[in-house]
Each structure stands twice: as structure tokens, then as C-alpha cells.
């Protein structure tokens, strides 16, 4: 909405936040805006322990912005909470593949040695 020059009123904001888990939405919005310090401060001051949706929102936002430090932090918490969830491993694999971080060795043929 904001990108199209429309300013939401409080009814719109309440509607959007009530459509999903409010804390995950706030972390998602801050993260996608690139405000990782504010997102992490918000997580630290939450009255409850952050769940997978919080860390997943931060993983996705940090991947969008290429912030590997926040991505690794959020990913560690996410894997710790849901070690059996395959989607976490798939998203990490996709991130490494897209950034070519997964390739740690080169393949040489006999002629190159």
C-alpha cells in the first residue's frame, strides 16, 4: 500500500495484524524493511518465548537482504526449535545454492593437475 502512495488507517493496520500472528507480523515487517536491530530488540522484549514463526520471518527477511549474520542467528534458533522440519533445511540449501556458498571445493580433471 505504501509503495502505491496509500496510507493505511488504523482499521487497516488492525485488520492486517489480526490476520496473522501479530508478533511474527511485526518481526516480518521490520525485517523486510531491513531494520534488523529493531526486529531483534522487539524479539528480546517479547513477553513470551519466540516461536518458529518469529525466527522463520527473520530467516526469510535476512535472506532477502543478504544479511548473513542475522540469517545464521535466526536459522540456529529455528533449527533448535524444529530440528525435524525439512522446510528449514530446504530453505537453507536454497540460500546457499543461490549465493554459491555451498560450493566449497572445485572439481579438477586429470589435465588440470
Between the two ends of the chain, the Cα-to-Cα distance in Å is 57
Q: Cell numbers at residue 10, please?
A: 488504523
pLDDT tens-digit profile of 42-84? 999 988 889 899 999 999 999 899 898 999 899 999 999 999 9
pLDDT tens-digit profile of 27-41? 999 999 999 999 999
Q: Which of 107, 55, 104, 98 is nearest to 76 (CA)?
A: 55
Contact in structure between 39 and 27 (CB atoms under 8 Å): yes
Instruction: List all residues 6 or more positions away from 17 whose beta carbon is below 8 Å from its beta carbon.
Output: 25, 26
More confident of the two residues 48 and 86: 86
Contact in structure between 51 and 82 (CB atoms under 8 Å): no
Q: Cell numbers at residue 43, please?
A: 524479539
Question: What pTM, to 2 d.p., does this model score?
Answer: 0.68
Whether the per-residue pLDDT at 22 is higher than 90: the answer is no
Contact in structure between 55 and 79 (CB atoms under 8 Å): no
Q: Cell numbers at residue 67, please?
A: 544479511
Amino acid at each position: 500500500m505504501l509503495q502505491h502512495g496509500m496510507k493505511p488507517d488504523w482499521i487497516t493496520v488492525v485488520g492486517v495484524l489480526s490476520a496473522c500472528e501479530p508478533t511474527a507480523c511485526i518481526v516480518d515487517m521490520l525485517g523486510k524493511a531491513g531494520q534488523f536491530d529493531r526486529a531483534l530488540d522487539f524479539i528480546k522484549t517479547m513477553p513470551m518465548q519466540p516461536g518458529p514463526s518469529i525466527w522463520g520471518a527473520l530467516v526469510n527477511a535476512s535472506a532477502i537482504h543478504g544479511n548473513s549474520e542475522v540469517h545464521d542467528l535466526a536459522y540456529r534458533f529455528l533449527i533448535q526449535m524444529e530440528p525435524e522440519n525439512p522446510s528449514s533445511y530446504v530453505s537453507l540449501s536454497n540460500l546457499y545454492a543461490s549465493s554459491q556458498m555451498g560450493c566449497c571445493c572445485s572439481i579438477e580433471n586429470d589435465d588440470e593437475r
